[in-house]
Structure 1
Amino acid sequence: MLPRSGDVLHVTRAASVQFLKPIMFRVIRVLDWPTYDGWMWLEGYELNAAGDAVSRRSIYVQAAGLRQLRAAAQPRQRTVPVRQRRPVARTPVRVG
């Protein structure tokens, strides 16, 4: 599983031994730093129980140990309501 920007992950000891206490993590980006096969660097925010960011972190984890909680929201198409034009009252033009 390759996380995407905006994904919320549950990072546990299965991802790395440093996570004895699991954390929720919102991904900013996957860093393209050289790593061992199956490992990756992620940059993002550690989240509290309410889902609020408490600290920005870069973490080194195994991709196979990550569990996705929420996928990144797909960009929605904004629908802008079409305004109806009101007829403009015009006065007749005099010629001559």
Structure 2
Amino acid sequence: MNARPGPGDLLIVDRAASVQFAGERALRLRVVSVCDRPTYDGWVWLTGYVLDRRGAATAKREVFVRLAGLRHAPATMPPPRAGRHNADPPETPPRGHRRPRTHDREGRRTAAPPPHAGRRTPGPPAVDSEVSRRPAGTDGAR
């Protein structure tokens, strides 16, 4: 590859790109940026994320490599997990159903609400106002 890579390119960086990446030190790099500072002819500074076998980023690196030694890596999808292709879709809650809030507005975790939260429960029994105004010990009989 003699063309400059661009952000988003997935490259194999091995001994052909620089001796420091020989053997097991070779890596797959997802390019984030290409530095514009002047370097030796045919060399370039790349910033990117090192990807593991599953395609997950493991480290951010800045590497000085030879353009002629870079190769595009095949874009491989991670293997599907066993049993996932036959899984039933998740059950959707009924319309209007709200889950109890588990985080406050600042994103801090809060205690789960009690199981009866949100339900209306009857209050204390109503008290007759006339009976409650009588002095203690009187039953109201004359």
Q: Same fold (TM over 0.5)?
A: yes
User: 1:24, 1:69 → 2: CA distance?
Assistant: 7
The code of the aligned residue for 1:59 comes to V
Contact 1:4 1:29 in 2 (8 A): yes
CA distance in 1, matches of 2:70, 2:59: 19
Higher percent of residues as helix: 2
Whole-Å Cα distance in 1 between the matches of residues 47 and 53 of structure 2?
Answer: 19
Unmatched segments (≥5 aa) in structure 1: 72-96
How big is the shift at 1:45? 0.5
Q: Tell me if the contact between 1:7 and 1:70 (Cα under 8 Å) persists in the aligned partners.
A: no
Structure index of larger Rg = 2
RMSD: 1.3
Give the TM-score of the pair, scaled to structure 2. 0.48
Residue of structure 1 in register with 2:16 after alignment: 14
Inter-CA distance 33–12: structure 2 relative to 1 (3 Å threshold): same
Match of 1:51 among 37, 51, 55: 55
4+ runs deviating over 6 angstroms: none
1:8 maps to amino acid: L
SS at match of 2:47: strand
Q: Percent identity?
A: 51
Other-structure match for 2:43: 39
2:30 pairs with 4, 26, 29, which one?
26
Question: Where do 5+ consecutive residues of structure 2 fail to align?
Answer: 76-142
Code of the aligned partner of 2:70: L
